[in-house]
Amino acid sequence: MEVEASRFPSVPIEDHFAGASVCFGKGRSFMAKFDEDEHASKRSSNIYYPFSCREDWEFASYLLRSSLTMEEIDDLLALTWIKKFIPLSFKSAKELRSRAELLPPGPQWRYQEISIDGFPTKDRMVLYYRDGLECIESLFSYPMFAGRMEFCPRKVFTSFNRQTRVYSEWMTSDGAWETQNLLPQGATLLGTILSSDKTLVSVGTGNRVAHPVLISLANIFADVRVKASHHAMLLAALLPCPKFLNKFGDPFRHEPRTGSTTLAQIDAIATQVDPWDLASYFKEAKTRRLNGVHLPFWRDWNLSDPSLFLTPEPLHQWHKFFWDHEVKWCRHVLGDAEMDFRFSVLHPHSGFHHFKEGISQLKQVTGREHRDMQRYLVACIAGAAPRDFVACIHSLMDFRYLAQFPTIDDNIISDISTALHGFHAHKHAVLAAGACTGKGNKPILNWHIPKLELMQSVVPSVRWSGAPIQYTADATEHAHRPLVKEPARTTNYQDINPQVCRHLDRAEKRRLFDLATSMRAIQLSAKSSKDSGPPVTELRPVERLDGPARTFTDYFDKVLNPPHTTTSPLRTFADHFTALHLNNEPSIRRITVDSAAIQFGLSDLCPALGDFLLRCQKQQESQPRSLLGGRRVSRADCHLPFTELQIWFSIRVQNKSPYDVTQVLRSLNLQASPPDSEWPLGRYDAVLLSHDPDIVGPWPLRSIQDHSVAQIRMVMRPLWMAVDSPPYLVYAQRFDIVSQGPLLASGVPAPDPASGMYVLKRALRTDGSRMGDVVPISHIRLPLDLVGRFGSVADVRLSETNSLECSSEFLLNKYWDKETFVHLR
């Protein structure tokens, strides 16, 4: 089979900035700072001082990070069982906290009172902060980031001709390259990231708020930095949230409406209105849609244009825009009842949010729900909304998915611009439908939407700052809970900030001490066992102290490194991109072929197995044939060399990331279970099957024409008495792509122009039965989501259990997840 060469990625070529980040010697390491503590001498004999031993420290660490109050800790420590069987060095919560204060500190908290002459506030304004440089030094020396940071700007290209540039990490951007160019020879460039967002900390009533500022390093790899469990975002300050007594005395409450304030715009206002006449100045700034800041702190900084250093923010800009605007437009056009019904009858998948009650009644929707709805919105409105309206929504969805790529090259940048142009080409349909409304449900006939305008800055930001997804506020939002909300809720809500700072100080001391003592214990264990054997294995691995609490099974690794006690034959299989796993115990241990055919409703199961055996015997013949289908050769009562099967009702499929083949994704559990009381027609998921699984190469970039969309109806293993390792097979039924226009240049059928998705129908034999065949499970490449084409009004007889079985045509949902989008866009 010939494969278009251009679909294979070339070897990346990198140009590194010459003379950047020269090492002039060794600095103070994390452990060196630990050994400089005033109590370091006492840890020469007991590394856990001020606690008596490792067990004493582990129990103390548990109590310090628990949500127990001081009274509850005292009650626990007063238990007779604790006193008798657990000898502790502390007897009360107060003593525990006193010992925690003796632990080596991180960056120290400070405070400063702020006042503005002539503008009194209801409460005094106090800024609690840590030195930003100390925070950066702490991140820079953090041992868990060793090997996960980069310090030399680089330009990445897809091939030797350097025609296509690639942007991912901050160090691959023009901004890092040009900033390094301003520094002295050999200087190390550290990109500082600041993130801030006001958050509510009280539960129920009270309306207590905090305004945290978090700091991080752009040098840390994005996949590490964006995970809250890695602690790459440090709380650097708690800003005051004052209430001014004067009507116009609240300069902090005015937020920019569109774009960014420039110095030229500020000067233009200042020439007409006295900047210190705040009432007049704010009024004039508001007319120009500016925030009214007269002397911005960045006015004399190099490269301080806000359009450069303020990056697009996916969570609050793109996903919030989706919920505030696109969902409302669609609900207006379809009506809540129709929209809710369509969402409720979608085929559910294990591990994915199913909107059983629809979406119109959702309250307090988070970014997670925004993204879950994005998976299905375009497929749900297709057929009911005008085609231009659907095209408008699908263009915005394409833009959103493309802009979230962790690696973006010049071709994807062009696709992002095309998607945005597609929205502007079809946005008239939204206004024509009267879907854009404001207060009182009055129609809005303009596009003065700040978040929409900010989309224009995505392409320039990619080139200047790298992939926007690394600057998402998800990490900030997740950090609010452990860094602000939980500490604040341990206080009495009176003068919250200092209490939060003390809580965080103890928490950081505990976390750093836990890491340092574990590293030192491993070092001592390795040293003591150098001549006597391997180090002690009971110590917790350091790399897990700071990693995510939840992990998932890597089936690729399981194939390469099978466990000592494993089932024979193996139930886990993998190639370069896809891993498959079956439970050790089948769902049905033994069943005859005829009984299985009846239970699963597969009248042609026996001849399908017969045809599979014939193909195995003639596999050397190069006969052009579709993977699933073709003329049935075997008779319905053909003889098989076996009479019984083992059957599994599910199979786990795991893929590698299409952006980075070294990154393994979570596995998905695909169903192939027969009819029962809950699923009267059975529950069968869809997959993409490769026509030739033995072809070596980067499958994700291959055309869909080399694959078939199919529904797995049975996962089985024939019980051959004479064969030690019989094959694992699937019976699958094929879907055909219905071209919605002339074939594309690659020969692939054209997708629906409105929804941007392939239209499918079930492949049928001449007698009207569904076309299915038996193939090895090694042909499975990717889980898929199919959504029935509902038409202008969805059939009321549809439900979540029958929508995939009763629909006649389907949309191949490319928005099901970001990885699927890469393969099917």
**Segment 204-231, tens digit of pLDDT:** 545 677 788 999 999 999 989 888 778 8
By three-state DSSP, how is residue 217 classified? strand
Euclidean distance between the first and the last CA atom of the chain, given in angstroms as a whole number = 23
**Residue 295 pLDDT exceeds 80:** no
Lowest mean pLDDT among 72-76, 305-309, 518-522, 593-597: 305-309
Distance CA 23, CA 5 (A): 42
Tokens 């199979």: give the residue: 651
Phi, psi of 696 (to 5 degrees): -90, 130
Q: Measured on CA atoms in the order 488, 492, 496, 498, is the torsion positive or negative?
A: negative
Distance CA 479, CA 481 (A): 5
The tokens for 445 are 């006939």
H/E run at residue 683: strand 683-684
Q: Convert 759-787 to b/e letters by CB count within 10 Å (16 or more is b).
A: bbebbeeeeeebbbbbbebbbbbbbbbbb
Segment of 123-137, 451-465, 696-710 carrying the highest mean pLDDT: 451-465
Q: Strand order in 165-167's β-sheet?
A: 13-16, 154-157, 165-167, 408-409
The tokens for 318 are 């793109």
In order of 31, 46, 50, the CA distances from 539 in angstroms are 18, 16, 20
Cβ-contact 340, 357 below 8 angstroms: yes
Q: How many CB atoms lie within 10 A of CB 796?
A: 8
Cβ-contact 515, 546 below 8 angstroms: yes
Q: Measured on CA atoms in the order 553, 554, 558, 559, is the torsion positive or negative?
A: positive
Segment of 274-278, 433-437, 565-569, 573-577 carrying the highest mean pLDDT: 433-437
By three-state DSSP, how is residue 576 classified? coil
**Segment 315-327, tens digit of pLDDT:** 989 999 999 999 9
Eight-state DSSP code of residue 145: G
**Residue 180 pLDDT exceeds 60:** yes
Q: What is the mean pLDDT of residues 319-336?
A: 96
Distance CA 378, CA 399 (A): 13
Beta bridge partners of 234: 215
pTM: 0.88
Distance CA 332, CA 339 (A): 9
Eight-state DSSP code of residue 34: H
Domain ranges of the chain: 30-107+506-517, 314-465, 557-735+770-784
Distance CA 628, CA 341 (A): 34
Q: How many CB atoms lie within 10 A of CB 171?
A: 26
Phi and psi based region of residue 533 (left: phi greater than 0; alpha: psi -120 to 50; beta: remaining): left
Tell me which residue of 707, 726, 719 sits closest to 823, measured CA to CA: 707
Burial class (CB in 10 A: 0-12, 13-18, 19+), 740: middle
**Segment 633-654, tens digit of pLDDT:** 999 999 999 999 999 999 999 9
Q: Which residues contact 67 (CB under 8 A, 6 or more apart)?
A: 486, 490
CA angle 493, 498, 500 (to 5 degrees): 70
In order of 613, 614, 621, 716, 791, the CA distances from 617 in angstroms are 6, 5, 9, 20, 45
**Segment 337-394, tens digit of pLDDT:** 999 999 999 999 999 999 999 999 998 888 899 999 999 999 999 999 999 999 999 9
Segment of 52-66, 274-288, 543-557 carrying the highest mean pLDDT: 52-66
Distance of CA 235 to the CA centre of its chain: 22
